[in-house]
Every structure is written in C-alpha cells, then in structure tokens.
Amino acid sequence: MSTPTYAAEKQVAIAAVRRACVLTASVFNKLVKQETMTKEDASPVTVGDYAAQAVVNTILGRTFPKDPVVGEEDAADLRQESGKTLRERIVQLASETLAAPLAEGEKEEWGLGPNQAQTSEQLLDAIDRGNYEGGRTGRFWTLDPIDGTKGFLRGEQYAVCLALVVDSRPELGVIGCPNLPVSAADPAGPRGCIFVAVRGQGAYQLALDSPFSAPATRLTIPPSTSETLNFLESVEKAHAKLSFNERVGQVLGITRAPTRMDSQAKYCALARGDGGAYLRMPTGVGYKEKIWDHAAGLILVEEAGGVITDGRGEPLDFGLGRTLGENFGVVAAGKDVHERVIAAIKQAKAEEDVAAQANGSIFKLPPELVRMIFEHFADEQHQFWLVWISTICKALMPEVEAALYRTVAVSSCKNATRLCRALVKRPYRALAVRSLVVYITGGASIKQPLKSALPLLTSLKRLELTVDDPSIFPLLLDAPFRLRTLLTGGYYYPDCVEDILASQPSLQRFSLMFTPRREEPLDLEHARTILRPDILPNLRSLTGWVARFPLTLIKHPYPIVHLALVGATRRDITHAISLFGNTLVTLILIRLIDEQSPPECYWPTYMFRHAHLPKLEYFMVADRYDEHADLPLERETMVIPGLREICPALKTIVWGADGTVIDDLQWDFDGMTSRGWAMTVYARMLFDAIPALERVSIYDDEVAASREVMGEVFTRAEDRTVKGPESASISLDEDMWTLRPET
C-alpha cells in the first residue's frame, strides 16, 4: 500500500484553521479590545471557542463525514434555555464566518460562502461532533479552537490547532497563529502565520491571509550549543513547572533567558528555530495533558527534524483517548539537544526527589549537613549503622543511600547486575555515585546492566573498570560523566581507549593495565592518539603496563607528576624520564632487567644518567629479571657522578631488589661476606651524594613471595648522620607493591 499523501485533508485543514483564525481575531477585536462584554456575559473565550469549533467542524463534517473529532467543547449547555444568549451570539458569529466569500483554495460544498446558510441546530450539531473519545486505532481529528486562552485575552500568542491522528499517530497538523510575527527577527513586523506539516512531507510556514498562493517556507530546527540554546516555556506558572526548567537549564549550562509564550505557538517557534527546546514539565497537580494540545505540535516538530517525547524520554501516546494518559510532561527539541535535555531533566528530578524526601525527615537539619554526617559514616566499618538508621526512619533513606552509594565497588557479575538495577530504579542513587569500581574477570558479561546504569551516573568522577569483555569499554564513549580518574584493565585491550581519552578532557589520572599477552603482537596504532598533546590537558598521573602501553610512542611532554610503569625496560625508562623528568614528583617502576643490560644498571639511580629531575621526591623501583644476570659490581659504578644536581629534591628511595641477586652480592662485592654489606655501602653513598635524602629502604625479597617483605632501612637523623641498617618490613597492600606484574 502506498503512503497516503493527505493532500485533500491538508487543504481542508488549512482552510478551516484560517477561517477559525479570522473568527477568533474578530472576537478579540470586537469583544476583548472594545470591552463590549460585561462581566456577567460569558467570556469572549467561550464565545470564540464554541464558534470556532462550529466553523471547523462544519467544514470537516462536509468534507470527511466519516471522521470523528476529539474536541474540547460540547453543545449541551448551549442547548439549555439558560444558554440562549450565548447560543445566539455563537450561531451568529459562526454563520458570519462560514458565509464569508470563498477564498482561494476553498470550495462551496465545504459549507462555505454566502449561499450556504447553516441553521442554529446544524451548528450545535457541528460543535457536538467534537464529542469523540479518541482511541488506539482508526482515524480522527483533534481540535483546539483557541489554545492559549490567557494569551488570547492579553492580545498575545494563541493558536487554532487541528490535527489528523491515524492509528494513534498524528499524521497531519495545522496550527494558525494570528498574532505570531511572520519573522522572529522582526517582532514588530507583520503578524499572522499558519504552520502545516504532513508526515514525511516536511514542515512549512504559510501566510495566514493567503496560505495557498504566497510562497511557503520550509522549516528545520537548526543545531544549537549551550550558548545558543534557550527554552520555550508557558507564561502560566500553573501549566508547567518553570522553577524546574530553570534547574534543568543550569545543568545544561544554558545562559540565555527562556522565551515565554502561550499556546502551541511554542511548537511553531521551535520548528522555525526561534528557541532550542520546549519544556513542559508537570506541576504535580495530577493534570493530564490533552491530545489536542500536542498532536499538531508533535508532527510539526518531527517534520522540522526535531524530537518530541515526555519528560522521561518516552514517546507521547495519542491512542489512550482524550489525554496523553501517563505521559510525564512534554519535551520537544532539536535532534542534537533532545537527549541532553532528557538527561538533565533526570538529574534535576533526582535532586528534587532527594530534597523532597529530606523535607519529611525527623532531623530538621539542612540536608547538606545530614549528608555530610552520613558520608562520614559511610565507610565499611560504619555502614551497618547507617543501614540500621534508615530501616528505623525511612525518611532518611535517600540521605543514607546518597552516602552509601557515593563509593561503590563490585567484583562479581551478580553484584554488578544488582547494583545497576538499584541505580536504575532510583536515579537519586545514581546521582550520588562519585566513585565506581567494577573488577570482574571471567564470568558472564555485565554489558547490558552497565549500559542502563552508566548513562545515569552524571556525578561520577572516578571509575575503575577491569573487565574481560572489551565491548564494555565503548559504553564510556556516550557516558554523561566527566572523569578525573580512569583506571582500566582486563584481558583484552579495547580498540576505543584513545577515543575514550579524547572524550574525557578532565582526566587527571589514567591507568592502563591490560594483560600483556605474548601470542598477540601489540598493535602500536592503538596508542597514536595518546600522542596528541591537546587531548588530555589535565593529565598529571599515568600508570601503565608497558607491554600494552607503548610508552616510547608518547612524544608529548605532558606535565606528569606521578608516573608508575610496570614491566619497563631500560629504553622505556630513559624515554619516560626525558619526557616527564621536569615535572615528576613520584616515580614508581617495576623494571625488567635483561641479559643485555650492563651490570651497573642494577643500581637504581644509574637510570638517572643524563636526566634532570628537579622535583622528584619519591622514587621506588622493583626489579624483575628475564634471566639471572651476571653482576660483577664495583664500588665505582654504584653512584653516578652529579647525582646531587640531577635529583636535588629526592627524599625517599625504595628499592625492591631481587633476593637472589642480593644473595649473590654478598659474595661478589669487595670480597666481604656479610649479607647486606654492599647495600650498606650503596645507601651511605647515596646519602653522601644527595643532601635532601631522608630515607633509603631496600627490600630484598621477591615482591610476590609473601604479604610481608623484609628489608633494611637507612634514615638521616637530625644531626645529618646516617642511621641504619634497621630491619623493616613492608606490606604488600601498600600501593607501590600492588603494581607488581603477576607471575
């Protein structure tokens, strides 16, 4: 079946709306402006409403007699004896309007022109044609004869709106705006426009007085940015929650003031680019939006390239009868901004939920204070206490949850799925999440749950994502959060890492810890973007497993303050120091020493040759040997010349030396047999060379061998003498040791 063009319907609807506009304009001029109606009279709105409905329905009744109409008014009151005066006025007005000479594009058989007089009864019947209840299937018209009555009375914006709905979908819409300036750029210029849209045929603006002959202007919603975007909203506070719009605007970073106007003229303004988004959020009184207030506007916006949904992003349902049923407000916007507006609404709504719950709390403390107190007790030790409070006093649940959800960590598929469900169920929980750790290796993919939860985490600042399913990482590309810390890892290096970096300009700390796999050669192309100096302007801390993080490809001297490299070769280290040396404060290395390395390499500070590390304060190195190297070490090679100038600020050196090598050293070094003697010599030489040095620790155990590693510590006393060695131990939990590569 071919798509219907609705050519006849379109022509009739335009003609009907134009006649109704002429009628309402004359009601305004005669009854409102000249104030000829007394207070006791029925309002001019009532007169205009009924009369305009009589005109449109008469035309529809003649042209499409089988089509029912869903309209606002019925004639029951007018048929009463008490309605006599009103009835006569309406009949007179409608008759006059229908009897006006035929205009271009109109036909006599539509009931128009001086030869087509209608009886009073015929006109009341026409009004009653608007009694249809609507429904899911079939076609019907829906009419709002004067939409925006308040605007009408003020002489400002109002609209005559007519739409054809087929199987629950508006297919044709016509909106007449007698008071709308023809061009928004010339607000004092000529007024009066008709807007028309047919599904699949585009949206157009026509001249109100010659809709069929004057050239039509095709309408498209232009793209907008936060700077150019503004809201269109009701004038009436009772019709939409304007304070809520304000908050949504703040979330979106909108700087322009909203444009307020009555009626569906807002949809017309949106369609022709006079505003970026129309927001109509419920005021909370349980009002259900009427289909005649949005059907014509919907098709106009969609045909102008926009998107229209309710405030939750759900489609508007025109198949439920006279109202939009459970739809929650209306949001119409350009394609490029609609999704962002919905996300901002979700955030503002979540905040509102938290605030609303707080009002009912028994503690009348300011919610921020309650939240601070609760956050203080949200650590693992005290969590039970918070949960206990919230079970006793349900009103405190949102604050308790906000505290508990601030930092969340999951390490099993089951818990990850549960967490995501909980976040989706109550968006204020999602809003509370600042730090999220997902550490799941093996098992089922948690992509689906994450896909629904990640878009809600607008406050997330720190994300640790270690997962084996690489298809999870692209989810970060569409995420609404601006991370400061991103730690990634897993079994497969995902291709999109660089795109993620490019989409996170606020990143300060980044870690890439993907498992190095021998069978798969590293694709160096992956790292290309990291080279671009512009993508990570705030990057200060970098951690990487070098096998999957080709450090030597980085050529840009990011001002890195903390650098940690796992599996770094001599070449990697020299490169890193030459790039970041000027800014480094902390340097942590798990280094690979291979057979080709010259023996003097063994001394950690040997790596500083030719370097300048003016700010370096903390230096830790743990060694890994490819093969057991032969180390004919000599006293002369222990400390390189000029070390004092190279790292004048260095306070701490921690060296996790390989145990077997240390054992070898006791035999090889200087012929002395005391274990640790070589270490003592080295430590003392370091203290001599670097005046700022306060502490040298040398741990002589395999890092991975036990949870506690043993070693010797040398410290500089107040009187600058060196104390030590004193035995010491270090726990594997300390950050630097957790960087060890797995064995």
Nearest partner of 23 among 91, 119, 124, judged by Cα: 91
Residue with Cβ nearer ligand A2P (289 or 658): 289
Is the dihedral angle over the CA atoms 143, 148, 152, 153 positive or is it negative? positive
What b/e string do you get for 445-462 counting C-beta neighbours within 10 Å, with b at 16 or more? ebeebbeebbbbbbbbbb
* DSSP states of 545-563: EGGGS-GGG--S----SEE
73 binds Mg ion (CB under 5 A): no
Q: In 64-197, where does DSSP find H-type helix?
A: 76-79, 84-99, 120-128, 149-154
Q: Minimum distance from CB of 279 to Mg ion (Å)? A: 17
Q: Which of 49, 128, 658, 701 is catalytic?
A: 49
Q: In this complex, which beta carbon is closest to ligand A2P, that of residue 299 or of residue 563?
A: 299
In angstroms, give the least distance from the CB of 237 to ligand A2P: 9
Kindly report the backbone phi and psi dihedral angles of residue 647, in degrees, each rounded to the nearest multiple of 5, phi listed first: -135, 70
- Is 668 marked within a binding site? no
> What are the Cα distances from residue 65, in Å, to 60, 68, 70, 110, 310?
7, 8, 14, 11, 33
Among 9, 49, 147, 289, binds Mg ion (CB under 5 A): 147
Q: Using CA atoms, how far apart are residues 87 and 65, in angstroms rounded to an integer?
A: 24
Residues forming a β-bridge with 710: 729
Answer yes or no whether residue 7 interacts with ligand A2P by CB under 6 A: no
Q: Which does 287 bind (CB under 5 to 8 A by kind): ligand A2P, Mg ion, none?
A: ligand A2P
Q: Which three-class secondary structure string do you get for 567-592?
A: EECHHHHHHHHHHHCCCCCEEEEEEE
The Cα 634–Cα 141 span in angstroms is 97
Which is nearer to ligand A2P, 285 or 392 (by Cβ)?
285
Between 49 and 401, whose beta carbon lies closer to ligand A2P? 49
We find the least distance from the C-beta atom of residue 257 to ligand A2P, in angstroms, to be 17
Near ligand A2P by CB under 6 A: residue from 11, 230, 234, 586? 234
371 binds ligand A2P, rule: CB under 6 A: no
49, 233, 274, 293: which one binds Mg ion (CB under 5 A): 293
Tell me whether strands 562-568 and 652-656 are parallel, antiparallel or unpaired: unpaired
Question: Which residues have C-beta within 8 Å of that of residue 434, sequence separation ≥ 6?
Answer: 406, 407, 459, 460, 461, 462
179 binding ligand A2P? (CB under 6 A): no
515 in catalytic set: no
Q: Please, where are the H alpha helices in 324-382?
A: 335-359, 367-376
Residue 326 interacts with ligand A2P (CB under 6 A): yes or no: no
Choosing from 48, 145, 148, 741, the residue that interacts with ligand A2P (CB under 6 A) is 148
DSSP 8-class letter at 148: -
State the nearest-atom distance from the C-beta of 157 to ligand A2P, in Å.
Answer: 8
Residues 257-276 that bind ligand A2P (CB under 6 A): 262-263
Least CB distance to ligand A2P at residue 233 (A): 8
- Kindly state whether residue 302 participates in binding ligand A2P, applying the rule CB under 6 A: no
Nearer to ligand A2P, 179 or 459 (CB): 179
Q: Is 147 annotated as a binding residue?
A: yes
Q: Using CB under 5 A, which of 9, 106, 144, 375 touches Mg ion?
A: 144
Question: Pairing relation of β-strands 69-71 and 139-147?
Answer: parallel
Residue 72 annotated as binding site? yes
In a 13 Å sphere around the CA of 14, the CA atoms on its Cβ side amount to 28
- Report strand pairing: 541-545 vs 562-568: parallel
Catalytic-role residue among 63, 97, 149, 485: 149
Sequence-ordered strand ranges (E) for 446-508: 462-467, 485-490
Query: Among this protein's residues, is 149 annotated catalytic?
Result: yes
Instruction: State the nearest-atom distance from the C-beta of 169 to Mg ion, in Å.
Output: 20
Residues 279-298 that bind ligand A2P (CB under 6 A): 283, 285, 287, 293
Residues annotated as catalytic are 49, 149
Binding site for ligand A2P (CB under 6 A): 147-148, 234, 236, 238-239, 262-263, 283, 285, 287, 293
Which parts of this chain interact with Mg ion (CB under 5 A)? 144, 147, 293
Mark the binding-site residues for Mg(2+), compressed into ranges.
72, 144, 146-147, 293
List binding-site positions: 72, 144, 146-147, 293
